[in-house]
């Protein structure tokens, strides 16, 4: 889809970016755990933290690469023990999502981070599900769960997690692959993804964040994923870029994350505009907003400011997010109509 031209002044862009209905497709719910909530849950559950204060914890959020972030992210998740904790975490995110104009969100969760500490799978998924259901009824935000396997652990471990998850099959829509990318190629999880495919689960995987373009190709050919999470390193392989454009494979790009984890030096150096220019189905997402400096709207704002994007880009990005979501075509069409109405309203007010 080429970017349509809209006569909406640049001054209206911040309001438009917030108001336009959009989907968030790459958000780790454990990455929405704000330092204040980490401390509150630590106190509630009697968990000892290795930082003396909220300020000291936040000051530690100076990352040099993905692993330096993951170490702190897994430590933060150690305060989550009870169903109520998972509910509180997800509810806090869903309130922010509504404020940012998110109509639909597909939330990643990392069960192994919790089951490894003795928290039953059921506790995790029940707390998250209750928040998703409440978001639908009280906020008008649609929310679904995607179970992520941790790629630094073994495929056997992933299979065990899948077994634990299957009694709750109706509570999650798909599986993903996250955690340390380098040295853990997609092929390591070929068999468990094949099983998930047989089960009719949606499939996604992180690829081409820190890892090479080959991991994107392998995620497509070996794991048969429907979307690529990040994927920004696809530009290193022109044939892959052409393929992604031809197939309309969505990339769930996370701009603030990429800068915080030093994938790009500055936002001005981010390749999101280049990806759009290549005709790729790019979406904007927040990844781990509590750690990377902002939720979805902040990601849009920072990207648009740094890359000089306009209302046409905003339309494309919002529409891509709705189209790349795992809801029915009918539901998508309804949201696209809302999107068109929003743009028509802004254009007529100009």
Query: What is the x/- site pattern for ligand ADE, positions 15-34, by CB under 6 A?
Result: -------------x--x---
Query: Does 30 sit near Zn ion (CB under 5 A)?
Result: no
Shortest-Cβ-distance residue relative to Zn ion: 287
- What six digits make up the tokens of 112? 């192994």
Is the Cβ of residue 109 or residue 335 nearer to Zn ion in the bound state?
109
Total of residues contacting ligand ADE (CB under 6 A): 11
Q: Angle of helix 296-307 relative to helix 311-323, nearest 10 degrees?
A: 140
In the complex, the smallest distance separating the C-beta of residue 210 from ligand ADE, rounded to whole angstroms, is 8
Which of 321, 290, 249 shows the shortest CA–CA distance to 72?
290
Tell me the pairing of strands 250-253 and 227-230: parallel
CB 151 within 8 A of CB 191: no
Query: Can you name the residues that pair with 175 across neighbouring β-strands?
Result: 147, 203
* DSSP helix/strand/coil, 111: helix
Query: Does 287 sit near ligand ADE (CB under 6 A)?
Result: yes
Using CB under 5 A as the binding rule, the residues of this chain from 268 to 307 that contact Zn ion are 287
CB 146 within 8 A of CB 106: yes
- What six digits make up the tokens of 74? 């897994």
Which one of the listed residues 164, 209, 210, 323 is annotated catalytic?
209
Query: Does 24 sit near Zn ion (CB under 5 A)?
Result: no
Query: Does 85 sit near ligand ADE (CB under 6 A)?
Result: no
* DSSP helix/strand/coil, 27: strand
* DSSP helix/strand/coil, 22: strand
Query: Does 288 sit near ligand ADE (CB under 6 A)?
Result: yes
In the complex, the smallest distance separating the C-beta of residue 299 from Zn ion, rounded to whole angstroms, is 13
Query: Does 106 sit near ligand ADE (CB under 6 A)?
Result: no
Note the residues at the interface with Zn ion (CB under 5 A): 287
> Which residues belong to the active site?
209
Residues that bind ligand ADE (CB under 6 A): 28, 31, 66, 73, 178-179, 206, 209, 257, 287-288
């Amino acid at each position: 889809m080429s970017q349509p031209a809209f006569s909406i002044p640049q001054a209206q862009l911040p309001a438009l970016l917030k108001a336009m209905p959009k989907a968030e497709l790459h958000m780790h719910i454990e990455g929405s755990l704000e330092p204040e909530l980490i401390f509150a849950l630590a106190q509630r559950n009697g968990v000892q933290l290795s930082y003396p204060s909220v300020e000291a914890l936040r000051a530690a959020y100076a990352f040099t690469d993905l692993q330096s972030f993951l170490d702190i992210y897994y430590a933060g998740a150690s305060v989550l023990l009870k169903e109520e904790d998972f509910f509180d975490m997800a509810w806090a995110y869903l309130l922010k999502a509504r404020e940012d104009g998110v109509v639909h969100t597909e939330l990643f969760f990392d069960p192994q981070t919790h089951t490894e500490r003795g928290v039953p799978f059921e506790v995790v998924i029940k707390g998250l599900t209750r928040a998703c259901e409440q978001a639908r009824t009280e906020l008008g935000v649609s929310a679904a769960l995607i179970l992520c396997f941790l790629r630094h652990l073994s495929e056997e471990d992933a299979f065990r997690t899948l077994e634990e998850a299957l009694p709750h099959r109706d509570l999650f829509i798909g599986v993903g692959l996250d955690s340390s990318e380098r040295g853990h190629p997609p092929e390591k999880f070929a068999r468990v993804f094949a099983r998930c495919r047989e089960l009719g689960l949606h499939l996604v995987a992180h690829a081409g964040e820190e890892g090479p373009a080959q991991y994107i190709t392998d995620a497509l050919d070996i794991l048969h994923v429907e979307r690529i999470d990040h994927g920004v390193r696809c530009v290193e392989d022109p044939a892959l870029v052409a393929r992604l454009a031809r197939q309309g494979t969505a990339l769930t790009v996370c701009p603030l994350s990429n800068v915080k984890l030093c994938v790009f030096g500055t936002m001005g150096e981010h390749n999101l505009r280049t990806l759009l220019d290549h005709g790729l189905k790019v979406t904007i997402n927040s990844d781990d907003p509590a750690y990377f400096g902002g939720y979805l709207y902040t990601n849009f704002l920072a990207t648009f400011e740094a890359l000089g994007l306009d209302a046409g880009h905003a339309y494309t990005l919002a529409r891509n997010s709705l189209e790349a979501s795992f809801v029915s075509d009918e539901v998508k069409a309804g949201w696209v109509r809302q999107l068109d109405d929003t743009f028509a309203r802004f254009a007529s007010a100009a």
